[in-house]
Amino acid sequence: MTEKELDAILKQAAAEPHEVDRAVVERVSGIVLPSLQPVRPLPPVWVIAVVLQLIFVAVAILGATLRGLNGIRVLNSAQSSLIFWVLGSLGLMAASASAAGMAPGSKSWFDARILLATCTAAFVAVFAVMFHDYRMDRFLTEGIACLGIGLLHAVAAGLLLWLVLRRGMILNPMSVGVAAGTLAGLAGFGMLELHCPILKAMHLMVWHIAVIPLSGLAGYLVGRLVRTWE
């Protein structure tokens, strides 16, 4: 059978009248219509992004305040300005990517995987430039403690972010998971920068930064689990 013959058959089928049993229509309507509920439209993407970024900032500041703002006190003005400017900029990008992912048709300017890699690389570069104390004493004991605290706050941020994201229509849960996980990791990282007074370069580049990729990976796994359930 050629393409023209197939087109002719389809056109003929479409042209012929097809009567539908009224009883069938009424039965289907009786099943479908009662289950329909009004849908509340989502706020604009920029509003959602602002809410997500407020969660990221609130978790970082509140966590550090409760544990002690020891880190910000030992940073000089140049160090604190650069670290928190980069942190705020990357947090805005991650929040925007997460918000775009929960609203179908919204265009995201940031690929979640590239964003995660950028966050990690950016802070490695910042710490390499700003800190030159490469002592390795108490590397594991101090580092594991910081990693645990940072991940704990990342989990808290991730749960709060999920309460917002779940209200949208997420078509690519793995991508949104990476973006939201990155934002949660930035919250845990930011808390460590405000709280931790240790300025040894390897401590910062390994243990503090590790919170970000680990949180992004966790977000990916959660998104993959959601996709499997669907």
pLDDT digits (tens, 9 = 90+) for 102-114: 877 666 677 889 9
Amino acid at the residue 85: W
Q: Pick the closest to residue 157 from 46, 53, 42, 49 (CA basis).
A: 53
Rg (C-alpha) for the chain, rounded Å, is 25
Go through 170-193 and write b for each residue having 16 or more CB atoms within 10 A of its CB, e for each that does not.
beebbbbbbbbbbbbbbbbbbbbb
What is the enclosing helix (H) or strand (E) of 32? helix 22-32
Query: Any residues with CB less than 8 A from the CB of 176 and at least 6 apart, and which?
Result: 98, 101, 102, 112, 165, 170, 219, 223
Please state, in angstroms and rounded to a whole number, the distance separating the CA atoms of residues 122 and 118.
6
Please state, in angstroms and rounded to a whole number, the distance separating the CA atoms of residues 218 and 31.
40
pTM: 0.81
The tens-digit pLDDT sequence of the chain (230 residues) is 565 665 666 666 666 555 655 666 667 666 665 665 665 677 888 899 999 999 999 999 999 999 999 999 999 999 999 999 999 999 999 999 999 988 776 666 778 899 999 999 999 999 999 999 999 999 999 999 999 999 999 999 999 999 999 888 888 899 999 999 999 999 999 999 999 999 999 999 999 999 999 999 999 999 999 888 86
Please state, in angstroms and rounded to a whole number, the distance separating the CA atoms of residues 7 and 112.
43
Could you state, in order of their start, the residue ranges of all structural domains in the chain?
A: 3-35, 45-229
